[in-house]
Structure 1
Amino acid sequence: MNLAQFPRRGYVKEATPIEAVPAFSKALGGKVNIFIKRDDLLPGCAGGNKTRKLDFCIADALDKGADTIITCGAVQSNHCRLTLSWAVKEGLDCHLVLEERVKGTYSPEASGNNFLFQLMGVKSITVVPGGSDMMGEMEKLAATLAGQGKKPYIVPGGASNTIGATGYVSCAQETLEQLFAMGLNIDHMVVPSGSAGTHAGVVTGMVGCNSGIPVSGINVSRTKDVQEEIVHKLAEETAERVGVKGGIPREAVECFDSYVGPGYSLPTESMVEAVKLLASTEGILLDPVYSGKAMAGLVDLVRKGHFAEGSNVLFLHTGGSPALYAYLDTFRG
């Protein structure tokens, strides 16, 4: 793979740390050694994994002469926060389309990412009901803005297309280089699986580098069968883009859907436990929607003996801690 052929903006200046979390591992019985890839420390307003994807997506937008970015997400979207932050940095207008996936949950006065949208000067926020055709809604807004003389560029939800997923192919390469330098052999990698770009990119990179490291996704919304098909399709398309010969084996994509709970963004007891446990043992913050539920999955898999005793397991921390402040009642309760 020659990723240097693809334009990017250079938002990722250096590798994010891979940290051992021994106190957390001990709290889970000490039979598995857990490490965390700290993509929550990536640049961009309050950090998070979407910076890797936007590095490539914003470059594509600028190459196409865009002066305006449109993207979408849920009402507390970390992706929308980071897209807005990089648009601000680049001097681009940014318009957000927010999907109220749980009716009645959007409030312009809310804390968390909603507050940051306003603080960074978002040009407009359009709120649509759950289940809306989000690409269709963004295309309508793009047509309106084009009629006003703007040059809009649509970044899909989560920046989860082949352009964005290339950022996580790069992350897989970066991770393998770090592990070699550290002399650390990882037996398994666990990632949050939502809009699919992060999961698909990591799988593509790990397969493309012949790493032999299995990657498991912890779902935050969809069922196992649906999510695996979405991730595999995007991984195949990304592999074709970056030049992975032979494609992506279907068995390389594995998802667990037992930790979603009542629905996307809705709290679960296991998520609350995982967030509190990592914070109280290692001083690392998760978010309640993605990394919190993904870590809840990892915790449960460790307790069930899914990983062999003595295994080294790497968790990808995708960030999102600003959303914690919109869930104060959940954690204080």
Structure 2
Amino acid sequence: MPHDLSHLDAALAAYPRVALLEGPTPIQKLSRLSQLPELNGCNLYVKRDDLTGLGGGGNKLRKLEFLLGEALAENADTLVTWGGFQSNHARLTAAVAARHGLACELILTPSAVRSDNDFCHNGNVLLDDLFGAKVHRLPRGVAPDVYANELLGRLKAQGKKPFLMPLGGSSPRGSLGYAACAAEILHQADALGLQFDKIIVPNGSAGTHSGLLAGVTLARSATHILGYSVLASEEQALATTLEKSRQTLHLLDASITLDEHLINVDGSQRGEAYGAPTAAMLEAVRLLASHEGLLTDPVYGGKAFAGLLAAVRRGDYPPASNLLFVMTGGLPGLFAYRSAFE
């Protein structure tokens, strides 16, 4: 029976939104991978949120649709955000600002695990400059949120109207982008005649996971969401995802309470630190590329896909399970991790 998405669609329509995608991103079956005996007869599909076009694409554009809507409603003329040197969110914020004629100030923090030339000057960092953003590279030990508030004060003193984008775009308002994506996925599943048993995502700042969970909850879908933590410990990621899911769901329908048992986070693929390469990630990126011609990034998608592969190989899912992996983009990060793949 098709999903009734009218309640979810109406709730999302209450918030200002700027279209940044060309339309729904496709769902594709990983036909060759699904035929591998080691994957035990599971059907693997991908939601191609790497194909979002603007600025090199990626999942952050869905969040930016709602954040930019909020910023323009406040008459902002400058977008400010912060993240790591290879932040996909920073890169796409810069691209969105360029598209809409806004100034952009990016605050980038150094990595605890990488300082090689490719990481510091290639990938997203190169693109930030091409999009015309002003980049503030913080030295180690400087708190980016404190620096951001000081920068906002300076910009306001200059007569500008800055709008602070949250880390990863993952405020409750930004997470609405993935509640909208949940509706898109359920529409597509109905059209394909599929019921996805699980949707698998990377969990960094938790906005993608939280938005999807809020969306499927409001749509009363039986599909479960699983996030592989790549930033925080499993315990921290669980707490953050629960809080953001509840906040996002509250924006959509304040009468619904989210059951904390629906929060499903796996911390097994994080490695020693955020952004640290793992053997499982390297193998997963190579497997997806060599069998399907698809590229996923080393920080988010590579680790989450490694988790999916491990679970399927262990037999965690029965044969014929339909599993949807959200490809969140971040392709420029591959070029920043050249040495890790050598």
Instruction: Tell me the distance in 2 between the aligned counterparts of 1:207 and 1:273.
Output: 34
Question: 2:140 — aligned with what?
Answer: 129
Q: For residues 266 and 240 of structure 1, what CA distance do their matches in structure 2 show? A: 35
Distance in 1 of aligned mates of 2:314 and 2:62:
33
1:129 shift after superposition:
2.4
Asked if structure 1 preserves the Cα contact closer than 8 Å seen for 2:138 and 2:144, the reply is no
Aligned partner of residue 275 in structure 1, secondary structure: helix
* Residue identity matched to 1:23: R
SS in 1 for 2:50: helix
Name the SS of the counterpart of 1:76 in structure 2: coil
* Distance in 1 between residues matched to 2:115 and 2:70, nearest whole Å: 33
Deviation at 1:92, TM superposition (A): 0.6
Report the CA distance shift for 1:236/1:111 in structure 2 as closer, same or farther (over 3 A).
same
TM-score (ref. length: structure 2): 0.93
TM-score relative to the length of structure 1: 0.96
Is the CA contact (8 Å cut-off) linking 2:108 and 2:135 kept in structure 1? no
Equivalent of residue 24 in structure 1, options 33, 37, 60: 33
- DSSP-derived class of the 1:315 partner: strand
Give yes or no for contact 1:100–1:106 (8 Å, CA) kept in 2.
Answer: no
**1:191 to partner: Cα distance:** 0.7
In structure 2, stretches of 5+ residues that fail to align are 1-7
Q: Which residue of 1 aligns with 2:165?
A: 155
Q: Secondary structure at the match of 1:40?
A: coil
Structure 1 residues 58 and 220: CA distance shift in structure 2, 3 A: same
How far the C-alpha of 1:133 sits from its partner, in A, is: 3.6
Q: Does residue 1:222 correspond to 2:232, yes or no?
A: yes
Whether the 8 Å contact between 1:97 and 1:128 is mirrored in structure 2 is no
User: Structure 1: how far apart are the matches of 2:281 and 2:189?
Assistant: 28
Structure 1 counterpart of 2:309: 299
Q: Supply the distance in 2 between the matched residues of 1:109 and 1:298 (Cα, whole angstroms).
A: 30
The alignment partner of 2:54 has SS state of: coil
Distance in 2, Cα, partners of 1:106 & 1:329:
9
Aligned equivalent of 2:47: 37
Q: C-alpha separation between the residues in 1 aligned to 2:136 and 2:299?
A: 21
Counterpart contact for 1:72–1:134, Cα < 8 Å: yes
**What is the Cα deviation at residue 120 of structure 1?**
1.3
Q: How many Å separate the matches in 2 of 1:94 and 1:253?
A: 35
Amino acid at match of 2:307: G
Q: Judging changes above 3 Å, is the alpha-carbon distance between structure 1 residues 316 and 33 closer, same or farther for their aligned structure 2 residues?
A: same
Indicate the residue corresponding to 2:22 in structure 1.
13
Residue 149 of structure 1 deviates from its aligned partner by 1.5
Distance 1:129 1:210, change over 3 A: same
1:1-333 pair list within 5 angstroms: 1=8, 2=10, 3-27=12-36, 28-102=38-112, 105=115, 110-129=121-140, 132-243=142-253, 245-332=255-342
Cα shift readout 1:104-138 (whole Å, capped 9, x = no counterpart):
628696111111111111123232426x5432221
- Structure 1 unaligned residues grouped into runs of 5+: none
Distance 2:211 2:84 in 1: 22
Give the corresponding residue for 2:5.
none
For residue 327 of structure 1, what is the amino acid of its counterpart?
A: Y
Q: Secondary structure at the match of 2:199?
A: strand
In 2, Cα distance between equivalents of 1:249 and 1:128 = 41
Q: Mean alpha-carbon deviation: is it higher for 84-93 or for 245-254?
A: 245-254
- The percent identity for this pair of structures is 38
Note the alpha carbon deviations across 1:22-46, whole angstroms, 9 max, x for none. 1122234342110000000013211
Give a deviation string over 1:117-170, Cα, whole Å, max 9, x none: 11111123232426x543222111111111112111000111110110000000
